Amino acid sequence: MLIVQKYGGTSVGSVERIKAVAQRIAQTASDRSVVVVVSAMGKTTDGLVKLANEISSNPCRREMDMLLSTGEQVTIALMSMALQELGVPAISLTGAQVGIVTEAKHSHARILHIKTERIEEHLQLGEVVVVAGFQGISHSRHQEITTLGRGGSDTSAVALAAALQAEKCEIYTDVPGILTTDPRIVPEAQLMSEITCDEMLELASLGAKVLHPRAVEIARNYGMPLVVLSSWSDEPGTRVVSAIPKRRALQDLELTKPVDAIEYDTNQAAISMLHLPDSPGVAAKLFSGIAVQNIDVDLIIQSIHESNTNDIAFTVGKDTLKQAAAVADAILPALGKNSDPSLGEPEVKTEERPIAKVSLVGAGMIGRPRVAAKMFETLAEAGVNIVMISTSEVKVSCVVDAEDCEKAVNCLCQAFDVDVADISISSAASESEELPPPVRAVALDIKQARLAVRHIPDRPGMAAKIFGLLAQQNISIDMIIQSQRCHHVDGVLTRDIAFTVSQAEAETAYQTLANAALEFGWGEVVLESGIAKVSVVGSGMIAHPGVAAQMFEALSASQINILMIATSEIKISCVVEEEDGVKALQAIHKAFGLSGNEVIKVPA
Ligand code: ADP
Ligand code: ASP
Ligand code: MG
């Protein structure tokens, strides 16, 4: 029986901690084979980054990998010595010595395959094998040292567990497991005994750094049992559970097909509300009105526009369209008027044409920007216009005209090489026996920026153009919002597109789009950095009316203005001003009753 255990930075932050962890490993090793993956000690990696930045503001990525990979090398040697001191035979190995073969991309290489021979040899000899996390070696001729991206030791551990066909992978960290939110911001956060891979994938990509999203992706794809637990206690921690996956080869481990199915739903209708005043409480009023009627809302998008008025668009089941539109109409007077009458009167528009939602289902979509770009390109080539877009780590959906649905599904099946048999009507997907909670956890990401491109011609291919250009630079995007409002520019119907990117990539994204805007004659490109994104995640929110309303009400009660809203099947995200981020997270966590009576203490 083989088990892979990973110990993060804080868990091995001092010699005392390394000795304590060695005791733990010795215990496990008494009746099992153990492979241990470790991170650099404490904040070593941050320290190395700082050193590099003292020499260069833009250091060469190859040298950066050379530098950062040293952190883990210190820990493996010390851990191996600590085990040997306890009389446990142990050997340390770097990523290169194991043969953790990656793409030849510095600073965020994906794992291609892992050679298991050397590790197996040592295990046969009864040794504990201590492997350096976060690092690999490129498949190219020069066998360069690569790193997997910050937080990547989790990914090393789960990939090793998959390659070695371990019984399970345990991730030991400084908190008791996966909590309802980051205990450093909300100390009353509660431990969950279980979470699904899909929920954890969303959370991880929305800012919960307790697990590297790519680690969860590998666990899901290979059905590897994954547990997150504290290296300070003997509590059982949190299990990350997944459905039994299809068999996958261990070659191209992290390059596997990210899309496993196409879904469509023709039971959708859309409503837009335009020119709403930009003040706290507008979304709350609207969606609580709708929740009172027990109407299930699917997608919601809201974006602010020039002149500071808001548009909100949302979809509901066809049979509830009239009822939902009546609520929207009735609520309009209560939303107030725009202070400046020239900004236009608030109005409700119901979409006359029937619409359909077509989705890619899989894992790791935000992390692979090419996927969404390819979806948009495929639809554009087929002449399908996209009405609304919703993105997430496990699903990318486009709302299209119902008459284009079949064409869209067919061309997407072909482009992503998924079987037509995989197509399901998404509304049927929610009939599980045991209902998961509507909101499992909440997350905050304060390292986000907002970009908007104004006045883009409203015709097929525009989303493909924008997100294709960004994907070429490997820039991940989230919360894509196409305005429902149209402008006529020189006789051409145009719309705005807004989205969020990480602050680290915002400047590159801005430059790319500003150049494209000049070339294609789009309007202005606007970058705003001071934003925060708060999100709620839970697979039980499917077919559970009122979750969005509850989130918006919590923000409204705290007088927090919502700048953008975007939802996907199991998540709702709101962009707020950066200084409101922490307050927003705390308010939402409380509103969903996620707080416990005990306070979580995180070791320093
Ligand atoms: P390690 O060094 O062990 O890899 P990390 O710092 O990467 O640890 O991840 C653990 C940290 O993740 C916790 O200390 C906590 O502050 C943060 N965190 C954020 N969201 C959550 C969450 N939902 N549950 C648990 N921890 C979280
Ligand atoms: N040491 C690396 C980092 O700090 C990898 C890890 O700890 O997972 O990002
Ligand atoms: Mg980590």
Q: Are the C-beta atoms of residues 93 and 34 closer than 8 Å to each other? A: no
Residue 477 structure tokens: 């995007």
Q: Are the C-beta atoms of residues 498 and 452 closer than 8 Å to each other? A: yes
Q: How confident is the model at residue 422 (pLDDT cuts 50, 70, 90)?
A: low
- Does any domain span residue 136? yes
Share of the chain above pLDDT 90, in %: 79
Q: Are the C-beta atoms of residues 90 and 130 closer than 8 Å to each other? A: yes
Number of alpha carbons in the 13 Å side-chain half-sphere of residue 50: 5
- Does any domain span residue 285? no
Q: Determine how many CB atoms are found less than 10 A away from the CB of residue 338.
A: 20
Residue 414 structure tokens: 């072909």
- Does any domain span residue 248? no
Q: How confident is the model at residue 494 (pLDDT cuts 50, 70, 90)?
A: confident
Q: What residue's CA is closest to ligand 1, atom 23?
A: 181
Q: How confident is the model at residue 483 (pLDDT cuts 50, 70, 90)?
A: confident
Residue 435 pLDDT: 78
Chain segment 325-350, per-residue pLDDT in tens: 999 999 888 877 776 777 678 889 88
CB of 346 closer than 6 angstroms to any ligand 2 atom: no
- Does any domain span residue 145? yes
- Could you identify the atom of ligand 1 that is nearest to the CA of residue 231? 3
- Does any domain span residue 199? yes
CB of 181 closer than 6 angstroms to any ligand 1 atom: yes
Which tops the pLDDT comparison, 433 or 321? 321
- Strands 33-38 and 128-132 come out as parallel
Q: Determine how many CB atoms are found less than 10 A away from the CB of residue 167.
A: 14
- Residue 370 burial by CB count (10 A; 0-12/13-18/19+): exposed, middle or buried? middle
The mean pLDDT value of the chain amounts to: 92
Indicate the number of domains in the chain.
1
Number of H-type helices and E-type strands within the chain: 16, 27
- Does any domain span residue 149? yes
Residue 376 one-letter amino acid: F
- 510 CA → ligand 2 middle, Å: 29
- 134 CA → ligand 3 middle, Å: 10
- Does any domain span residue 482? no
Confidence check: pLDDT of 427 > 50? no
**Domain coverage including residue 99:** 2-241
- 26 CA → ligand 3 middle, Å: 23
Mean pLDDT of 561-582: 94
Confidence check: pLDDT of 22 > 90? yes
- Does any domain span residue 590? no
Q: How confident is the model at residue 428 (pLDDT cuts 50, 70, 90)?
A: very low
Sequence length of the chain is: 604
CB of 42 closer than 6 angstroms to any ligand 1 atom: no
Find the CATH number of the domain harbouring 112. 3.40.1160.10
Residue 49 pLDDT: 98
Mean pLDDT of 426-447: 75
